[in-house]
Amino acid sequence: MAESLYDVLGVAKTATADEIRKKYRKLARKHHPDVNPGDKSAEEKFKKVSAAYDVLSDEKKRAAYDEFGDDALSGGFDPEKARAYAAEQERRARARTYRRNDFEEGPVEFDFGDLFGRAGRARGPARGPDIHASLEMDLRQAIEGTEIGVEVPAQGTVRVRIPPGADNGSVIRLAGKGAPGVGGGPPGDLVIETIVRAHPHVRRDALDLYMTLPITIEEAYNGASIEVPTFEGPIVVKVPPRAQNRAKLRLKGKGIPRKDVRGDFYVELDVRMPDKPDDALAEALRNASSAYSKPVRAEVSL
């Protein structure tokens, strides 16, 4: 029995997209030509792994492969035509088949290669497999967009333009920048998946940005105008009087842009206690109980 694409990647047919991606990355790193210079066996394995991932990472291609097997890999294969072909072959078999007591028939076998496989292969050399790579960048680069060089075997450095608003798992496809085709066929594509490194002060959620910003107890109680750093420069915002710890201030439209849409920037207040002792402050705080309209733990119960 021919090795299936699932066997090539070493995953079960029921594997999730994430399991397939992780397995591919592991095998691609192991057999990459840059890691194994001059090793033809590793190069062939890398091509097989890339070709298998090209099919199994695409929902439609994977569904067609699961339904029709290797015939779905032939050039020009059309699942709808294949189903119509199968239905017609079965209809003709039913018309020819006659059993002694009824018109039931056994399984009908037919070869999709007659329609797509051999005909598709006869059209010309096969297209080369896609090359998959990942690019790491910091949050500012992802928000503003950037241009990064990617080393591609036999091609050298390929400049890749990352558009503004890229996120973890964003995919960029460069047509014709993949592995060369077999027998002079056209090359595959270069498929880039972006990885955005975590920022020490800013968290991303879709197109929104979140920052935790420390303020003093005086700023929290009396209110204040404070400076908030953003990727577009500092912005002055107003903290309302008696602002509570973890209260959020919304900077509308200061999040991540993507086409005609832009997210918001949320500032979460972190009220900090003084880190040095002060007798006058301690006495003032002891007398502050009357400033609370109700006990602060009145609503806490189990």
pLDDT in tens, 253-292: 999 988 788 999 999 999 999 999 999 999 998 888 888 9
Cα 6 to Cα 57: distance, rounded to the nearest angstrom: 11
Rounding to the nearest 10 degrees, give the CA dihedral for residues 78, 84, 87, 93.
-90
Please report the pLDDT score of residue 217 as a whole number.
95
User: Is a pLDDT exceeding 80 seen at residue 199?
Assistant: yes
Q: Which residue has the higher pLDDT, 156 or 98?
A: 156
Higher-confidence residue: 136 or 34?
136
Instruction: Average the pLDDT over each of 51-60, 119-128, 158-167, 213-222 and give the range with the smallest value.
Output: 119-128
Characterise 82 by phi-psi region: left (phi > 0), alpha (psi -120 to 50), beta (else).
alpha
Cα gap 215→192, rounded to integer Å: 41
Among the listed residues 271, 190, 200, the one whose alpha carbon sits nearest the alpha carbon of residue 229: 200
| 186: DSSP letter | P
- Measured CA to CA, the distance from residue 53 to residue 23 in angstroms comes to 9
pLDDT given at position 120 = 45
CA atoms within 13 A on the CB side of 137: 28
Give the confidence band of 148 by pLDDT, cuts at 50, 70, 90: confident
Q: Please state the φ and ψ torsions of residue 249, each to the nearest 5 degrees.
A: -110, 130
97-126 pLDDT, tens digit per residue, is: 434 344 344 454 545 555 554 444 445 577
Cβ neighbours for 138, distance < 8 A, ≥ 6 positions apart: 196, 197, 199
Q: What is the largest CA-CA distance in the chain?
A: 107
At residue 254's C-alpha, the angle toward residues 248 and 255, to 5°, is 85
User: What are the φ and ψ backbone dihedral angles of 5, each rounded to 5 degrees?
Assistant: -65, -30
> Nearest 5°: phi and psi at 255?
-90, -145
- Domains in the chain (CATH in brackets) are 1-101+117-125 (1.10.287.110), 127-197 (2.60.260.20), 202-287 (2.60.260.20)
Provide the pLDDT for residue 204.
93
Q: Which residue has the higher pLDDT, 74 or 201?
A: 201
Rounded to the nearest 5°, which phi and psi values hold at 161? -90, 115
**pLDDT at 75 exceeding the cut of 60:** no
Bridge partners, residue 192, by sequence: 133, 172
